[in-house]
Structure 1
Amino acid sequence: MQGSSSQKRKRLDLVPSTGSLTDPERVLYNVIRSKKDMGIWTRDMKRETNLPDNVVNKALKLLQAKKLIKEVVNIQNKGRKHYMAAEFEPSKEITGGDWYSEGNLDVDFINLVKDLCLKHIMRQKVATLDGILEWSKKSGVFAVEFTTQQIEEILRALVLDDEIVEVKSTGFGDFASVPVGRVCYRCTSKGGSKGEPKAGAMASIPCGVCPRISSCTPDGIISPRTCAYYQKWLDF
């Protein structure tokens, strides 16, 4: 029982004292605090409180001066003034997550992640999305933990930059560790131009665009051994 009471006191200590607030300040603060890490736009708080504009504006200034609320940047609409209680940190939906810093796209960080992912793909020769995501978590290189969507965005950017290509595994050679038909990534000649392994003709391997790749096996009816396109690619 004593431990439970202690934890309850700690939680209460996190809630700022509002005893010195005027009625309009308290009403406004309660509305803002109820939105937690999502905060609220000034127009919405005026609608929810039914307070006049001048009263809301004055109360916001006083609440900020008392360090009970803070203005935050909402990347969805930077032109809107957005507020939340000082005890909360903005959600990623508001801040944009790790790709943003102080409301602006963190280009330097994104370029760093792209460069490190590219070097990882160069070392591996062939890499899958899941493999890159797992590497990013276990390598200790990054101070943040990325989501699948974020790694997908990085890979898509590298494809658009012509640094890597998206292909499907053939199960042979560099693809031996990747199941046949699985989407994976490898460097283009451009991506391997700095003394790193080059993709060369492998980047244009016909298996990468073959609609029957999932049915292709070494000893099957559909097989690299009997594929005219694969043979032409080998001759190339």
Structure 2
Amino acid sequence: MTPDEAMVYSHISASGREGIWTKTIKAKTNLHQHVVSRCLKNLENQSFIKVIKSVKFPQRKIYMLYHLTPSIEVTGGPWFTDSELDTDFISTLLIVVWKFVAKKSYPTLKYRAGKQCSFALANEFGLPGVKEIAEFISRAGITDVELNLSDVRSLCDVLCYEERIEKMKNGCYKATWQSVLETSHSGLTGGGDEDGAGGDGLDDKVFNINDCYRVLQTAGTGADEEEDDDRERLYLDAYVSQ
């Protein structure tokens, strides 16, 4: 290692896991750009240093020691892949976390495509916290990316902001009932009856007592299909007008 290479190496070593920009190396060493480039190339060829990408400065060429791992400030943490925000990865994890919290919040709820979800009794005692959610993600093997508690808490914060879950006083999380209804209707819950069949198209709307055309099916006995269809329906207008 030449004296110039040793000088360049010392500044790269001092930068630690943050790395150092080539222009900063030139300014600190006061070497000509051609000399700096030659030193960097030789050190890189000998596996003393390596080039890394920074999410803060994607256009800059940053060097750090070969054996070091870039800091989260440089890589952006688990939410970045190749210095770019991985929106698909984040969206998938948000769905996974919401489903886990929803099942813990309403353990007796069954999702059926095309059927109006009746209000399910909420579970106030077995609600998960950040630690339980993180353990579930790790145990389920959903991703090879290691998520710490801070990462999982960030996912929960996003879901709270979207009003899909809410944070309780004890620090645990509970799915909002509105998010359960919206998600079941959009098909994100996996949808479908257990036998794979869809539900009645009439029942895929949220029931409103003011909708006079909304009816309850009763057992029909008429011979004529159209007349029988009318007799099979119990209209709610009578109840509304009382």
Residue in structure 1 matched with residue 165 of structure 2 by the alignment: 165
Matching of residue 191 in structure 1 with residue 183 in structure 2? yes
Q: What are the equivalent positions in structure 2 for 1:71-220 lying under 5 Å apart?
A: 71-125=51-105, 126-161=127-162, 164-168=164-168, 179=170, 182=171, 184-187=173-176, 188=179, 189-193=181-185, 194=187, 196=189
Give the Å deviation of 1:32: 1.1
Query: Is the contact between residue 21 and residue 60 of structure 2 (CA under 8 Å) also seen in structure 1?
Result: yes
Post-superposition shift, 1:139? 4.0
Residue-by-residue CA offset, 1:113-158 (whole Å, 9 max, x unaligned): 1121122112112543343234334444443332232112212333
Aligned ranges for residues 49-68 of structure 1 at < 5 Å?
49-68=29-48
Name the counterpart of 1:29. 9
- Residue 148 of structure 2 aligns with an amino acid whose one-letter code is T
For the residues of structure 2 that align with 1:52 and 1:44, how far apart are their CA atoms? 12
Aligned-pair distance for 1:31?
1.9
Any unmatched runs of 5+ in structure 2? Answer: 106-126, 190-205, 207-242
Determine if contact 2:98/2:165 at 8 Å carries over to the other structure. Answer: no
Distance (Å, rounded) in 2 between the aligned partners of 1:124 and 1:74: 39
1:39 pairs with 2:40: no
Would the alpha carbon gap of residues 142 and 195 (structure 1) be closer, same or farther in structure 2, given more than 3 Å must change? closer
- Percent identity between matched residues is 26
**Shift of residue 183, structure 1, vs aligned partner:** 5.4
The alignment partner of 1:89 has SS state of: coil
Q: CA deviation at 1:106?
A: 1.9
Contact 2:78–2:146 (Cα < 8 Å) also in 1: no
**Does structure 2 retain, via aligned residues, the 8 Å contact 1:165–1:185?**
yes
Q: Deviations over 1:153-204 (max 9, x none)?
A: 2123334455x132536xxxxxxxxx5xx552304122343385xxx9xxxx
Deviation at 1:90, TM superposition (A): 1.4
**Counterparts in 2 of 1:160 and 1:192: CA distance versus 1, 3 Å:** farther
Contact 1:127–1:186 (8 Å) recurs in 2: no
Equivalent AA in structure 1 for residue 79 of structure 2:
W
Query: Following the alignment from structure 2 to structure 1, what is the Cα–Cα distance between the partners of residues 183 and 153?
Result: 18
One-letter amino acid of the counterpart of residue 166, structure 2: E
Equivalent AA in structure 1 for residue 96 of structure 2: L
In the alignment, is the contact (CA less than 8 A) between 1:75 and 1:94 conserved in 2? Answer: yes
- Asked if 2 retains the 8 angstrom alpha-carbon contact of 1:136 and 1:145, the reply is no
- Give the match's secondary structure for 1:64: helix
Computing the radius of gyration over CA atoms, which structure comes out larger, 1 or 2? 2
Q: What amino acid maps onto 2:165 in structure 1?
A: V
In structure 1, what is the Cα distance between the partners aligned to 2:10 and 2:90?
Answer: 37
What stretches of structure 1 of length at least 5 have no aligned partner?
1-20, 170-178, 201-236
SS of aligned partner of 1:136: helix
| Structure 1 CA distance for aligned equivalents of residues 64 and 102 of structure 2 | 44
Paired residues in the alignment total: 166
TM-score by length of 1: 0.59
Task: Indicate the structure whose relative CO is greater, using CA pairs within 8 Å and at least 6 residues apart.
Answer: 2
Whether the aligned pair in 2 keeps the contact of 1:128 and 1:185 (CA below 8 Å) is no
The question of whether the paired residues in 2 share the 8 Å contact of 1:28 and 1:59 is answered with yes
Partner Cα separation in structure 2 for residue 84 and residue 131 of structure 1? 36
Structure 1 pair 36–190 and aligned structure 2 pair: CA distance change class (3 A): same
**Pairwise CA RMSD:** 2.8
